[in-house]
Structure 1
Amino acid sequence: MTHANCPRCGGRLARDNDTGRCTPCQAAERDRLSAPPVVPANFWDHKPVRLALAERHLGRVIRAYRCHPYHGRVALPQSVVAGWLGITQAQLSRVENGPPLVHLDRLAHWAQLLGIPASNLWFRLPGQHRWVDDASLSDGEMVGARGDDQVSERGDQAAVAVNVEQAPSQGGGVTDRRRFNVLAALAGLAAGGHTYLLPGPSAEVPGSIGMEQVRLAGSLVDDLRRVDAAVGADLLCDVAMQAHTRLSAWAARATCSREVGDALQSALADLSIEAAWLAIDADRRSEARPYLHEAITRARIADDPQAEVRALTHLSLLIRESQPGESLHCAEAALRISAGWATPRLTTLLHLRRAHAYAVLRDASGFSREMTKARRELDRGPHEDDQGFVHFVNVQELSGIEGLSYLALGRPERAAQSLRSIAANPSPAHRRNRVYYTVRLSEAVCQQGDVNEAARVALDVLPAVRQIKSKRVSQHLADVRRNLAAPRQATATTRQFVDAHDQAVSL
């Protein structure tokens, strides 16, 4: 016998409903197993949640979140919430009951997944940098008045008003919006205390370096990553390179102790790696390699194997198409250096690097062997010692590399199958990767000969490509456009995409 009403929402059940819950509640129950629900604004006003936020303890915030009355009479199981966060139930228990988390990447990532409003947090989320409002600037300080690479000199760089992510909707044309976003990036970095590392007039550079300055310089990499997420590598690449130049020059002139010197070398290695990544994503690949070579050298000087592995991992990515054999060696060296301390995610990434390099070499057996190893490592799950740069390594990334590898092997049908699985089960925390792999899906479908489907996929992803401002992604979409514009490919659908692409590029 069925209940007359749904016990969760109180709604009337249909006569033939023998599940005990209404259809919307059944859907909500399914959805909560895969991703956090969208909660109302007053959710965060619940007293236990407010107290946990006031204590600045994200573990207690998560516990209060799980036990919130919004979820029903029974609290959300730790196993469900742990699945959202990419950790095990035992790890979540330690997070909830142990000391407060201090790792900023993890704090920001989990806060975003749960949808905690930025105004309730005690730390900044990616893209939360602020900038000086146009209305408060004089004519001589207006956006772009001193060029894309300079920031207005105001007494208080942190006096800011608008979120960076809102910047594309401001201003007149595209040029103004780009200047606007660069200003936002610079103002955000300056607000973090990095004024003397930025282009344009800056504060006086200290003559000596202490550990406090090294920590500040090291946090610059975190700030660059956050601004990159908001405005894209195309706009930030030069900023990172100029900051690297300033920090390197400062390090060469200033005095410091041996301990501080080693820490500074590690900080410079990290900044070099970040500058290289931004160059890769901005499709300025020739500029990336010197930064990675420098990072490897500095990491060895500082005896910092983690930084060396990060640099080798990025170098393997950079040269996998042009020098796949050397890419293999870089990934192998990173595996050797990290033996004994590498987490499963890092090992997965290195096997994926090798898998794609083997595919470019047309070595199908080598590709298959490395993909098997990558899957085995990924199945071991996340680890509390995961470095920030491997957080994107998940099932979707594995499917993406598998798809790219099948493209390199000349098997577009298998490539399309792998890449479609990403669209069917997207990772909300890694939008740029999702957009990139959708563009490559269009390329795979085009190679299969289905030009109309390729055009539809490309047309759907076009607005997102424009928003993320990654020249690497834009260039692949331009390649799809060039193929679909060929006279032999002309259909109403392909012409619609080509026209939309050309119009978007001209704006």
Structure 2
Amino acid sequence: MDTRTNAIFTVLLGEYGFTHRSLADEVNRISGRIFGRPGAATDRDVRRWISGSVRWPTGRYLLPLAEIFDRPPEAMGFVPRGRSSRLPAPPSSVRPGQEKPVKRRAFLNASTAATLALVLRIEETPARGHLTLTDVDRINTTIGRLDAHFTAIGGGALLTVATAYIDRLRDTADRCTYGPRVEQALHRAISGLHASAGWAAYDAGDNATSRLHHADALQSGILGKDGRAQARAWSDLSLQARAEGRHREALSINRAALQTRLARQDPRIAALLHSRLAIGHARTGDHGACARSLLAAEKAHDRFDTTAPPPPWLRFLDAAEIAGLAAIAHRATGRLPDAETATAQALRLLGPSMRRNRAYYGVQLAELQLAQGDTTSARATAAAVDTAAVSSPRISQRLATVHRQLATAQETP
């Protein structure tokens, strides 16, 4: 039996300051509130979750854990297995009012999306009355959590949640009263949410929906007079154009974004744009420009202010991601050994919570090894890719293609 240690859950305990005993007590307290009777978790249960001997706790413990750590089970390192991933509804013996903090209808669908909607409490966003900057701050916090979930598990399961929250914020914008400052802040928040939805659609393989969300993100960023939101939207639109094979359009968008004042002032945005510009140059055959853009991305990365936290949507952009994007550019220029080296570097640098990116670059490494005829390494790499806790049809489809090609290679004399 596979009992790999749940490193993500171990890190979470440290970050939140829980001992095994104190976490069990908190789980039991919240379980009592949800189900009407205290839970029976012990420090031994917590040790089993950490060790991996229990890869998917019962719903009586999963729901409290999702509330405590503010993330779905997969983002805590738990791995669903068939029907065991279904969470139960609260028992009928729970009296009305006891379950107020966790709304009953969130239990009707036990998918990752439903669990995430429960944890994020998107229905607490006002849809009537007067809206304040404090309300918008809470909205931005929720969107930041959504971005964090995407980084952890991918976007396939998040599209429904992001779309539902967009509808909620549209109601907020139409039905609440607010002043000009709040209006701009709300447009900025909606821009960020459209960007998240666009990435979720991209991960689900729905390019048309992704493109529409990124265009809406740009429009809302303009209405909110937010340079960062606009830079993010332009960057995402360039990636979407590249994904659809419109490489010169992607180049034009990237160049325009790099000319903005914000791109010149913010090294994180500059690093992202230069990295994607390098890929665009590679796809259009300009290898010299590709090399210059990769160098510019590295120089921008060296200027990162590590004392100030990045905005939630840019937290993924670290040394591992810079290496991974460079690998994509090298691959597009035909420099497969360099691409393999950079991809392996990205995998070494990735943190334990970056499950989605780890699966993405794991598949990319297997593809590169296979393309160079190293079927032995490709087979080992592909076997090690863990997509069980990642919700990304795009990644899963690429991995399936690798396995099919390996099977064919094995059959060839």
Normalized against structure 2, the TM-score is what?
Answer: 0.73
Measure, in 2, the Cα distance between the counterparts of 1:243 and 1:279.
Answer: 14
Measure, in 2, the Cα distance between the counterparts of 1:234 and 1:385.
Answer: 27
Instruction: Please say if residues 276 and 287 of structure 1, whose CA atoms lie closer than 8 Å, have aligned partners that are also in contact.
Output: yes
The CA deviation string for residues 399-445 of structure 1, in whole angstroms up to 9 with x for no partner, is: 21122122222332332122122344444453422321121010011
- For the structure 1 residues 301 and 257, does the alpha-carbon distance in structure 2 shift closer, same or farther, using more than 3 Å as the test? same
- Displacement of 1:489 in angstroms is 3.6
Name the aligned partner's letter for residue 355 of structure 1.
A
1:173 to 74, 77, 83: 83
Measure, in 1, the Cα distance between the counterparts of 2:309 and 2:152.
Answer: 26
- Displacement of 1:362 in angstroms is 2.1
Name the aligned partner's letter for residue 250 of structure 1.
T
- Displacement of 1:137 in angstroms is 8.2
The match for 1:420 is 344
Is the aligned partner of 1:299 residue 2:230?
Answer: no
- For the structure 1 residues 447 and 133, does the alpha-carbon distance in structure 2 shift closer, same or farther, using more than 3 Å as the test? farther
Q: What SS is found at the alignment partner of 1:269? A: helix
Measure, in 1, the Cα distance between the counterparts of 2:31 and 2:207.
Answer: 32
The match for 1:136 is 35
The match for 1:84 is none
Name the aligned partner's letter for residue 228 of structure 2.
Q
Measure, in 2, the Cα distance between the counterparts of 1:373 and 1:167.
Answer: 36
The match for 1:450 is 374
- For the structure 1 residues 476 and 327, does the alpha-carbon distance in structure 2 shift closer, same or farther, using more than 3 Å as the test? same
Gaps of 5+ in 2: 1-9, 20-26, 38-61, 67-71, 88-108
Instruction: Please say if residues 159 and 200 of structure 2, whose CA atoms lie closer than 8 Å, have aligned partners that are also in contact.
Output: yes
Instruction: Please say if residues 195 and 217 of structure 2, whose CA atoms lie closer than 8 Å, have aligned partners that are also in contact.
Output: yes
Q: What SS is found at the alignment partner of 1:205? A: coil
- Displacement of 1:267 in angstroms is 1.3
Q: Where do 1:51-200 residues align within 5 Å?
A: 115-119=14-18, 136=35, 161-163=64-66, 164-165=72-73, 168=78, 173=83, 176=86, 179-190=110-121, 194-195=122-123
- Displacement of 1:160 in angstroms is 5.4
Computed over aligned residues only, the root mean square deviation of the Cα atoms, in angstroms, reads 3.4
Q: Where do 1:165-314 residues align within 5 Å?
A: 165=73, 168=78, 173=83, 176=86, 179-190=110-121, 194-195=122-123, 205-229=127-151, 231-314=153-236
Measure, in 2, the Cα distance between the counterparts of 1:262 and 1:359.
Answer: 38
Name the aligned partner's letter for residue 421 of structure 1.
Q
More RCO (CA 8 Å, sep 6+): 2
Measure, in 2, the Cα distance between the counterparts of 1:396 and 1:455.
Answer: 23
The match for 1:146 is none
- Displacement of 1:213 in angstroms is 2.6
What percent of counterpart residues are identical? 27
Name the aligned partner's letter for residue 391 of structure 1.
R
- For the structure 1 residues 135 and 306, does the alpha-carbon distance in structure 2 shift closer, same or farther, using more than 3 Å as the test? closer
The CA deviation string for residues 39-89 of structure 1, in whole angstroms up to 9 with x for no partner, is: xxxxxxxxxxxxxxxxxxxxxxxxxxxxxxxxxxxxxxxxxxxxxxxxxxx
Instruction: Please say if residues 407 and 415 of structure 1, whose CA atoms lie closer than 8 Å, have aligned partners that are also in contact.
Output: yes
The CA deviation string for residues 13-38 of structure 1, in whole angstroms up to 9 with x for no partner, is: xxxxxxxxxxxxxxxxxxxxxxxxxx
Q: Which protein shows a greater Rg?
A: 1
Instruction: Please say if residues 272 and 294 of structure 1, whose CA atoms lie closer than 8 Å, have aligned partners that are also in contact.
Output: yes
- For the structure 1 residues 356 and 131, does the alpha-carbon distance in structure 2 shift closer, same or farther, using more than 3 Å as the test? farther
- Displacement of 1:112 in angstroms is 5.5
Measure, in 2, the Cα distance between the counterparts of 1:234 and 1:131.
Answer: 29
- For the structure 1 residues 437 and 170, does the alpha-carbon distance in structure 2 shift closer, same or farther, using more than 3 Å as the test? closer
2:311 to 387, 395, 412: 387
Gaps of 5+ in 1: 1-110, 121-127, 139-158, 198-203, 493-507
Instruction: Please say if residues 439 and 476 of structure 1, whose CA atoms lie closer than 8 Å, have aligned partners that are also in contact.
Output: yes
Q: Where do 1:480-499 residues align within 5 Å?
A: 480-486=402-408, 488-490=409-411
- For the structure 1 residues 118 and 287, does the alpha-carbon distance in structure 2 shift closer, same or farther, using more than 3 Å as the test? farther
- For the structure 1 residues 369 and 432, does the alpha-carbon distance in structure 2 shift closer, same or farther, using more than 3 Å as the test? same
Q: What SS is found at the alignment partner of 1:234? A: coil
The match for 1:317 is 239
